[in-house]
Structure 1
Amino acid sequence: MANGETYTGSCFCGEVQFTVKGEPAGMGYCHCESCRRWSAGPVNAFTLWKPEAVTVTQGTNNIGTYNKTSNSYRKWCKTCGGHIFTEHPSIGLTDVYAATIPEFPYHPGVHVHYQETVLRINDGLPKMKDVPREMGGSGISIDE
């Protein structure tokens, strides 16, 4: 993917639209209980971006925010309830859910919080106990 490419994303109904530009800082799957409950699924596919790479282009006033902790500000559309992204100020990144940017070439590189998994995935990707050390985690890998 070229460094300057822009991809368009939206909530479920399209009221909130946004773009991501450039390349993400990382991509993968999160297995933590919090992401599972928020996404209503057994695993969450994420793309991590610098905040300046994410621009809301429509529906700014239609975005709701919920933060269970100061580490995550989860955003959703007030019309359809569709989840959009999560701001992570403590690590300086925004998690744009891979499913919300359908044309983006998603290539996961890691599974995080795999110790909490409820769905084992044998895909050969690294499985982290929590998150990489540079993101404040233990950096410990675990077996598939």
Structure 2
Amino acid sequence: MLPGCGFARLLGVSRLRPFRVRYWLLLSRICKGGVMEKTLRGRCLCGAVEYQVPDALEYAGYCHCSECRRFSGSAFSAFGGIAEGNLRVVKGERHITSYRKSEDSLMCFCSVCGSSLFSRKLKTGMVHLRLGTLVDTPSMQPQAHLFTGSKASWYQIEDGLPRFDTLPS
């Protein structure tokens, strides 16, 4: 039986042909605790920056504050929160430029195409990914609308998700 995360046992395979051994070893590297860990891929518009995170968002939502609207260029910013240690830039780290919005927030974007990628929350150690930059669909979908007290007057929220005038307490 091959070592790894148990796929060989799960499928009842005890011996593999040599050309399949590499496949099983690759699978074992992307397993965690016997369960396949899905990886989400993200990128900017031009492809100069690519990143990966585990599909383990701690929260997700829509932020309607004026600053997120300006950074996203839209009525709101769809974001997902994940611990900063889980963000792995796999291509183009040198193309990530940042703007220090406040003592707590560092806004990061592609210096080539200008895509808004994520913001680093310095006090909490979290990263807010811009969900629109994801190539893959996360398991967690946005759960609420935040800062609706300052939302764009021309946009109507009609999805039935909870709404908060500011941050929920």
Question: Could you say whether these structures have the same fold, taking a TM-score greater than 0.5 normalized by the shorter chain as the test?
Answer: yes
Task: Indicate which of 140, 148, 152 corresponds to 1:114.
Answer: 148
Shift of 1:102: 2.7
Judge conservation of contact 1:3–1:22 (CA < 8 Å) in 2.
no
Shift of 1:81: 1.1
Q: Whose helix fraction is larger, Structure 1's or Structure 2's? A: 2
Unaligned runs of 5+ in 1: 134-144
Match of 2:71 in 1: 38
> Cα distance 1:3–1:46, how it changes in 2: closer, same or farther (>3 A)?
farther
**Structure with the greater alpha carbon radius of gyration:** 2
Structure 2 residue 95 is matched with structure 1 residue 62: yes
1:86 and 1:19 map into 2 onto residues whose CA distance is: 15
Runs of 4+ in 1 over 3 A off after TM superposition: none
Match of 2:163 in 1: 127
Task: Indicate which of 92, 95, 100 corresponds to 2:128.
Answer: 95
What's the TM-score once normalised by structure 2's chain length?
0.73
Shift of 1:3: 7.7
Tell me how many residue pairs correspond in the alignment.
132
Q: Whose strand fraction is larger, Structure 1's or Structure 2's? A: 1
Match of 2:106 in 1: 73
2:96 and 2:145 map into 1 onto residues whose CA distance is: 28
- Of all paired residues, the percent bearing the same amino acid is 30
What's the TM-score once normalised by structure 1's chain length?
0.86
What SS class does the counterpart of residue 7 from structure 1 fall into?
A: strand
1:111 and 1:102 map into 2 onto residues whose CA distance is: 23
1:74 and 1:61 map into 2 onto residues whose CA distance is: 15
What SS class does the counterpart of residue 94 from structure 2 fall into?
A: helix
Judge conservation of contact 1:22–1:53 (CA < 8 Å) in 2.
no
